[in-house]
Amino acid sequence: MPELPARRGPRLAPRFPPWLFLLLPALSFMLLMYGYPFVRSFVQSFLDAAGRFTLANYAKTWDLYLKDLGFTFAVTAFSTLLTAVLAILLAMYLRFRDGPLARLMGGLYRLPIFIPFVVVAQMMNTFLAPHGLFNLALARVGLVNIEKPLQLFNFWGLSFGFIWKMVPFSVLIIHGGFQMIDNSYIEAARSAGARTGTVITRILMPMSRSSILVALVLVYSQVVGTFTLPYMLIGGKIPTTITVDIAHRVNYFRDFGVANTLGVFSYLLVLVTAIYYLRSSVRRVTEEGAGPR
């Protein structure tokens, strides 16, 4: 007599780990504030005014705003790179010095963090104007003819404004990473004959790589998405940043197709750094998990 198959108990519904519910608020916020706008902009960039599929928006963007796309990337890359160099140097100074001057700088460098971009733009308009404070100071020492002052409402002035605003923010993150490194590592390196430069390049910067990377990604993303400073400093000049172009397409032409296309390009500019940051973070976590146990 053949054996009857054993009766199986009732299937249990798959149980989700409790920690997934802890991620739900953050994940919902990211999808609502970043995922949904990107998908909507991406879809509408391929639609015309009648809702039909078209590539005309990308063709028009490429013809009209290719120079602005390059200008945006150049300003962003240059400002981010110079911000990183200055922030690392200032963070190193604050890490190794403990005198009155270092404490004074440690209190003053944080002030630009709390100044909004609209105020920064007005300050830069006054400071970088053809007869502003900067040109007057250079003319006073004979470096500039005040009748032919430096014209700084361009790439250089915009980069200067971004750097002035973003260096303190970067120093706050990078200096925090430097402060977390125990002094025993530095003392051990110095006892082995390492100089200050070697300590910086072999101890501080490698061990604070994650802090430096976070600062760079945040600075890069904020520069790409800033509208107020380019609009008030450059205005309608050519070239300008794509955030200003988006505002012009919406306010003056009501051309949401091209505006969404420019938004897609801005997302792509930021996506490069986001992917690099995520890959670096995953690689670091993998290396830490594969370490000796």
The position carrying tokens 């054993």 is 6
Domain ranges of the chain: 53-112+167-282
- What's the rounded Cα separation, in Å, for the pair 270 and 272? 5
AA letter at 78: F
Q: Residue 97: count other Cβ atoms within 10 Å of its Cβ.
A: 13
The pLDDT value given to residue 15: 67
pLDDT of residue 12: 52
The predicted structure's pLDDT at residue 238 = 84
Predicted pLDDT at 157? 94
Full DSSP string of 142-164: TSS-TTS----SSHHHHHHHHHH
Whole-angstrom CA distances from 33 to 40, 97, 134, 263 are 11, 42, 40, 14
Q: Residue 274: exposed, middle, or buried by beta-carbon count in 10 A (0-12, 13-18, 19+)?
A: middle
In this prediction, residue 102 carries a pLDDT of 81
Q: Is the peptide bond before 239 cis (omega within 30 degrees of 0)?
A: yes
d(CA 67, CA 62): 9
Could you tell me the fold of the domain covering 53-112+167-282?
MetI-like fold (1.10.3720)
What pLDDT is stored for residue 64 in this prediction? 93
Do 264 and 42 form a contact (C-beta atoms < 8 A)? Answer: yes
- Residue ranges of the chain with pLDDT lower than 50? 1, 293
Closest CA to 230 of 248, 242, 215: 242
C-alpha torsion 229→232→233→234, nearest 10 = 110
